[in-house]
Chain A
Amino acid sequence: MSATNEMAPPNARTAVAARAVGLSKVYGEGDAAVRALDDVSVEFERARYTAIMGPSGSGKSTLLHCMAGLDTPTSGQVFIGDVDLTMLSEKALTLLRRRSVGFVFQAYNLVPTLTAAENITLPLDIAGEEPDKAWFDEVVDTVGIRDRLSHRPAELSGGQQQRVAGARALVTRPEIVFADEPTGNLDSKASQEILTFLRSAVKDHGQTIVMVTHDASAASFADRIVFLGDGRVVDEMVEPTTDRILDRLKSLEG
């Protein structure tokens, strides 16, 4: 399962939405150099919900940023589908993010001057494309914010804002959605809502989701968990439960 080998079997490649090969990221130079990612190779299967966990400074956010084309790796390769991100220009990366990647951040997900509906269709508007009305309706209903579409972010609760962000991530039918601590700023009820929504996006629509979190109960919604420590993949777990995750975390830290 875990792809520490560099060559994945050909039949598996179609089942992989994104993968990292020998990925390293070093910040700073010389003595001050910090190796945030150290030769990481990992695959994220299509239509699966993967969580990345690890203690602070384990490199989980860096991995997500590199996978999403927001950060440039020091060495190694990153693929979304068959496209090698490290070969792309800044402009091509922007277009790829627009078409093939969806984002849900911890906070500040929405443009305050735009309504909820406008925020959802923002990536399509930027690309100059018309939203697929049926799909838009479905996404909006899935996140349950139909009655809030004409409101601006300031008039929405934190949970509603994150659901709008989720809808925006799905509306382009991206190859993959990256979620960076999407429940970090939410109370437990709102967290449940957004996690359930992401779960159903995978189950009902075959969406691929990669989520960074440090919250074991959030991670328990995933199909698979990749554990990072000191910039390396140290472990993984399939079909996780909260208790098993907590045990594993304890053992990793201990």
Chain B
Amino acid sequence: MFRAAIRSLLARKVRLILTGLAVVLGVGFMAGTFVLTDTMTRAFNDLVNTGYAPIDVLVRSSNAFTAQTSSLEERDPMPESVLQDVEGVPGVARANGDVIGYAQIVDPKTGKAIGTFGPPTAASAWYEGNGFRLKPGGSPPQGPDQTVIDAASAKTHDIAVGDRVEILFEGPPREFEVVGLAGFGESDSLFGATWAMFDLATAQDVLGKQGKLDTISVVAEPGVSGVELQRSISAVLPKGVEAVTQATVVSEAQDQISTGLGFLRTAFLVFAFVSLFVGAFIIFNTFAIILAQRTRELALFRALGASGRQVMTSVLVEAFVIGVVSSAIGVLVGIGIAILLKGALNATGFEIPASGTVILARTIVVSLVVGSLVTMIAAFVPARRAARVAPIEALREAQDRPGRSLRFRIVAGLVVLALGVAPLLYGLFGTPSNGLQLVGLGAALTFVGVAMLTPLIARPVAAALGLPVRLTGVPGKLGRENSMRNPRRTAATASALMIGLGLVVFVAVFGASAKASTTAVLERTLKADFILISPTLTGFSTSAAEDARAVSGVDTVSQVRQAEAKIEGGTAFVTGLDPGTFPVVSEVDAVQGGLEDLANPNSIAVFDDTARENDWTVGDTIPVEFPATGSTSLRVVALYSENGLIGDYAISLDTFDVNVANVLDTFVLIKADEGADVATVQADLEEALAPYPNIEVDDQAGFRDRYATLISQVLNLISALLLFAVIIALFGVMNTLYLSIYERTRELGLLRAVGLTRRQTRSMVRWEAVIISVMGALFGVVIGIAFGWALQQALEPEGFSELGIPGGQLVIYVVFAAVLGVVFAIFPARRAAKLNVLEAISYE
């Protein structure tokens, strides 16, 4: 029996390869994710190790927690005098004070600020042992006019020793001479960060930390251990300052790396699982078709005495072999993908230090297990169906056999659909702690349920879609008939595409809704004529607002800052604003209290819905924990409705600055004098802000567009990752066509004999592919809109007021599916056209 299973595998190589391909791609995605993130983790960990190798103890202010989103650590600086105290501790060979803060180098060629989303842009002091190494031909920075910058930024922006560069800070921008380039450890940069270094005094000056230090790096005398030294240094430190060993610093940094990459890994694995899920549909369909074609063979086994169980086992063995082999190939493909992606990331400036590709045993084991399990689970239902083949069928003429009763399918499909929709809705509208997992599970089951029901409507849908096709001639008519003849097969093939495209459509609907909602709320609330913003949203110097105030025709300038805090155990963004001027530039509907009361010290305003969820009201005192300053109690003075700019929490700029170490403006909202010429004011503003190349002056429409564009960029990335699943689904279309052609050999021979040309034969197969693909795309559009609508309804309290349906985009998707259907039908069509007529019509 097992030998028969293996024989049957080898006898059908093309089908084997195509079935395996679905697994190969899904597993490849998964293995690639593991390999890439493992490789990056190893590389970054190595970098941290070499970077911190020179020091034994680090002295710094203690912080309450480490913010995940800010690019620089939020810690208050300590007085410079601590340095002398530390130097005086016995066992200290050398101690270097350092400051670190926001800085952005301006490309001297383009005049644009260097830096993208993600890696930080920073400045610190230069000293021996800060982890950076000077490249040959440079010298350390000395005095207020000199800087050393990271070699990676220098290379990509063509900056050489001797050039003069402008650098942006929290305070006003300044110009420096580049006297050296430095790399971090073996790499040209620290995780792709843009970095400028000065002598300590200059660094303190430009970062606004005169007389202060952020850290002190201590090197121990020979024979003194880090732990010993850490203990003796701790004894001399003032309150709020701590000493930690090198090991602690390294493990903290590595923890952060693994958290960051862990997020990336999880995100990619989700897409890998979507691909595998689609792959499972294809495996299911392929096995169902192959086993139907092998009915007589299976019945023969049964007639010869094999039990139903043995038949089923042999099918599952087949699935297992396909699963293991394809997963193994998938691992290899994944390694290739990881190496390519690493190269691509390097090319885009997100530098990954050179190191070997890391392939852990876990990667291989998980990939093999998941790949084979998915294959076997998908093959289970067809295998059980095969086990029920009666011996008598060996004697019957093979025909399209009627399936099980439709009533069973309707009931089973509805049950699965209900099992999917229930957790989906509960996850969305209830507030369970594991909402995301529930939604994921619910969506998967919903897809399965819908897929089980689609055969019921596949025939009429194919017939309807085929109506225009039918008019194109006999090939179109035959293609339409072929797509209608086996609704189960057509539906299962279309369903795989439905999942991939359904998710893409869901993302598109979500994006359109997000854009429409943001636009709607901003149109309502935004009163400012201009908004200053940095394109990468990193924030910019607070001195820009001062310069803007000086521009004639400017009436009100209102600064807005954002920082991370912990409230009620969760991470939240707190907006700092000026309660006096903010209402002039933005409409804030106070539901309770008034925003002007924020002027009182230690007060906070809360978004209405958030307050309701937490049962807060005006007058309550709530604990808020900032990274740098720790816990503080703020009194709720106002509750406001959706505003679009300020999120869930708002505090005054004064409260903000007291609690936040790195102070940058996120937005500056500007209202022009009444009657002033807006175009002139904008031009004057742009001129006044010319020293800040990281700031752009948006008008209202431009600001809304910027948000829409940002949303699109993120969503396009997600759609691109989902495309993988769509491609796998199209391989499914190809597979089904191949199998159908194999099954219809006779019929094709007959058609060719009575005069169907090769071109017409190809055309017939292509039309069938188009009908299946468009059907899948339409199902996907329907389910994607349904999912998007459900999410929008669920998020309505969070400001998702509008449901956006990007009609044009959806039409493009459907056309795209049809075109890709044709592309993926090329090979099956050629196969059909090349069939030897004689072989096709001769009798066995």
Asked whether, in the complex, the Cβ of A95 is within 8 Å of the Cβ of B758, the reply is: no
Interface stretch of the complex, out of B351-359, B375-383, B547-555, B836-844: B836-844
Asked whether, in the complex, the Cβ of A111 is within 8 Å of the Cβ of B841, the reply is: no
Query: Which of B473, B477, B841 is within 8 Å of A105, CB to CB?
Result: B841
Query: Which of A70, A103, A111 is within 8 Å of B478, CB to CB?
Result: A111
Interface stretch of the complex, out of A52-60, A118-126, A137-145: A118-126
Chain B residue at minimum C-beta to C-beta distance from A107: B843
Is A65 in the interface zone, CB < 8 Å from B? yes
> CA separation between A109 and B758, bound complex, in Å?
19
> CA separation between A105 and B750, bound complex, in Å?
9
Query: Which of A61, A110, A126 is within 8 Å of B474, CB to CB?
Result: A126
Contact with B along A106-138 (1 / 0, CB 8 A): 111111111000000011011110000000000
> CA separation between A208 and B696, bound complex, in Å?
87
**Residues from 10 to 55 in A contacting B, C-beta threshold 8 Å:** none
> CA separation between A183 and B116, bound complex, in Å?
79
Asked whether, in the complex, the Cβ of B750 is within 8 Å of the Cβ of A127, the reply is: no
Interface stretch of the complex, out of B158-166, B479-487, B526-534: B479-487
Asked whether, in the complex, the Cβ of B755 is within 8 Å of the Cβ of A123, the reply is: yes
Asked whether, in the complex, the Cβ of A91 is within 8 Å of the Cβ of B758, the reply is: yes
**Residues from 728 to 764 in B contacting A, C-beta threshold 8 Å:** 746-747, 750-758, 760
Asked whether, in the complex, the Cβ of B758 is within 8 Å of the Cβ of A90, the reply is: yes
Chain A residue at minimum C-beta to C-beta distance from B760: A126
Instruction: Give chain B's interface residue range (CB within 8 Å of chain A).
Output: 20 to 34
Asked whether, in the complex, the Cβ of B753 is within 8 Å of the Cβ of A103, the reply is: yes
Is A154 in the interface zone, CB < 8 Å from B? yes
| Total contacts A-B at CB 8 Å | 71
**Residues from 4 to 42 in B contacting A, C-beta threshold 8 Å:** none
> CA separation between A128 and B475, bound complex, in Å?
11
Closest CB in chain B relative to A94 CB, distance in Å? 5
Contacts A111-B478, A126-B474, A154-B399; A94 near B484 (Cβ below 8 A): no
Closest CB in chain A relative to B531 CB, distance in Å? 63
Residues of chain A within 8 A (CB-CB) of B399 are: 154
Residues of chain B within 8 A (CB-CB) of A65 are: 838
Residues of chain B within 8 A (CB-CB) of A125 are: 473-474, 477
Contacts A65-B838, A70-B837, A105-B841; A94 near B755 (Cβ below 8 A): yes
> CA separation between A115 and B751, bound complex, in Å?
15
Residues of chain A within 8 A (CB-CB) of B755 are: 94-95, 97-99, 123, 126-127
> CA separation between A151 and B475, bound complex, in Å?
21
Asked whether, in the complex, the Cβ of B758 is within 8 Å of the Cβ of A126, the reply is: no
> CA separation between A65 and B751, bound complex, in Å?
15
Closest CB in chain A relative to B765 CB, distance in Å? 14
Closest CB in chain A relative to B544 CB, distance in Å? 72
Is A168 in the interface zone, CB < 8 Å from B? yes
Asked whether, in the complex, the Cβ of A114 is within 8 Å of the Cβ of B752, the reply is: no
Chain B interface helix/strand/loop/mixed? helix
> CA separation between A108 and B400, bound complex, in Å?
14
Asked whether, in the complex, the Cβ of B753 is within 8 Å of the Cβ of A91, the reply is: no
Chain A residue at minimum C-beta to C-beta distance from B399: A154
Residues of chain B within 8 A (CB-CB) of A127 are: 755
Asked whether, in the complex, the Cβ of A111 is within 8 Å of the Cβ of B843, the reply is: no
Residues of chain A within 8 A (CB-CB) of B747 are: 108, 111-112
Query: Which of B473, B754, B843 is within 8 Å of A122, CB to CB?
Result: B754
Asked whether, in the complex, the Cβ of A94 is within 8 Å of the Cβ of B758, the reply is: yes
Asked whether, in the complex, the Cβ of A97 is within 8 Å of the Cβ of B750, the reply is: no
Name, among B484, B485, B750, the residue most crowded by chain A CB atoms within 10 Å (CB to CB): B750
Is A71 in the interface zone, CB < 8 Å from B? yes
Residues of chain A within 8 A (CB-CB) of B752 are: 94
Instruction: Give chain A's interface residue range (CB within 8 Å of chain B).
Output: 20 to 34
Residues of chain B within 8 A (CB-CB) of A105 are: 750, 753, 841
Asked whether, in the complex, the Cβ of A94 is within 8 Å of the Cβ of B757, the reply is: yes
Asked whether, in the complex, the Cβ of B746 is within 8 Å of the Cβ of A108, the reply is: yes
Name, among A90, A95, A97, A114, the residue most crowded by chain B CB atoms within 10 Å (CB to CB): A97
Contact with A along B463-483 (1 / 0, CB 8 A): 000000000011001100110
> CA separation between A159 and B478, bound complex, in Å?
25
Query: Which of A95, A106, A107, A112 is within 8 Å of B757, CB to CB?
Result: A95
Closest CB in chain B relative to A72 CB, distance in Å? 10
Chain B residue at minimum C-beta to C-beta distance from A184: B843
Contacts A94-B752, A107-B843, A108-B750; A113 near B473 (Cβ below 8 A): no
Chain A residue at minimum C-beta to C-beta distance from B842: A61
Closest CB in chain B relative to A9 CB, distance in Å? 33
Asked whether, in the complex, the Cβ of B753 is within 8 Å of the Cβ of A97, the reply is: yes
Asked whether, in the complex, the Cβ of A111 is within 8 Å of the Cβ of B750, the reply is: yes
> CA separation between A91 and B833, bound complex, in Å?
12
**Residues from 356 to 409 in B contacting A, C-beta threshold 8 Å:** 399-400
Residues of chain A within 8 A (CB-CB) of B843 are: 106-107
Chain B residue at minimum C-beta to C-beta distance from A128: B473
Residues of chain A within 8 A (CB-CB) of B754 are: 97-98, 103, 122-123, 126, 168
Residues of chain B within 8 A (CB-CB) of A108 are: 746-747, 750, 841
> CA separation between A111 and B758, bound complex, in Å?
17
> CA separation between A125 and B481, bound complex, in Å?
15
Closest CB in chain A relative to B760 CB, distance in Å? 7
> CA separation between A107 and B755, bound complex, in Å?
18
> CA separation between A106 and B843, bound complex, in Å?
9
Asked whether, in the complex, the Cβ of A114 is within 8 Å of the Cβ of B753, the reply is: no
Query: Which of A109, A113, A122, A168 is within 8 Å of B485, CB to CB?
Result: A113
> CA separation between A168 and B750, bound complex, in Å?
12
Residues of chain B within 8 A (CB-CB) of A90 are: 758
Closest CB in chain B relative to A36 CB, distance in Å? 12
Asked whether, in the complex, the Cβ of A91 is within 8 Å of the Cβ of B473, the reply is: no
> CA separation between A101 and B841, bound complex, in Å?
16
Closest CB in chain B relative to A37 CB, distance in Å? 14
Asked whether, in the complex, the Cβ of A70 is within 8 Å of the Cβ of B753, the reply is: yes
Closest CB in chain B relative to A50 CB, distance in Å? 20
Chain B residue at minimum C-beta to C-beta distance from A105: B841
Closest CB in chain A relative to B473 CB, distance in Å? 6
Residues of chain B within 8 A (CB-CB) of A112 are: 400, 485, 747
Residues of chain B within 8 A (CB-CB) of A98 are: 754-755
Closest CB in chain A relative to B475 CB, distance in Å? 8
Residues of chain B within 8 A (CB-CB) of A106 are: 843
Closest CB in chain B relative to A173 CB, distance in Å? 14
Chain B residue at minimum C-beta to C-beta distance from A125: B474
Closest CB in chain A relative to B620 CB, distance in Å? 72
Contact with B along A71-98 (1 / 0, CB 8 A): 1000000000000000000110011011
Residues of chain B within 8 A (CB-CB) of A114 are: 478, 481
> CA separation between A217 and B751, bound complex, in Å?
30
Asked whether, in the complex, the Cβ of B838 is within 8 Å of the Cβ of A70, the reply is: yes
Residues of chain B within 8 A (CB-CB) of A97 are: 753-755
Asked whether, in the complex, the Cβ of A113 is within 8 Å of the Cβ of B478, the reply is: yes
Contacts beyond the supplied A113-B484, A123-B754: 18 A-B pairs with Cβ under 8 Å: A65-B838, A71-B838, A94-B755, A98-B754, A99-B755, A108-B747, A109-B750, A112-B400, A122-B751, A123-B755, A125-B473, A125-B477, A126-B474, A126-B754, A126-B756, A128-B474, A154-B399, A168-B754
* Sample (20) of A-B pairs whose CB atoms are under 8 Å apart: A61-B842, A68-B753, A70-B753, A90-B758, A94-B756, A99-B755, A103-B754, A105-B750, A108-B746, A108-B747, A111-B481, A113-B478, A114-B481, A122-B474, A125-B473, A126-B474, A126-B751, A126-B754, A127-B755, A128-B474
Q: Which 4 A-B pairs have the closest CB atoms?
A: A98-B755, A113-B481, A108-B746, A125-B474
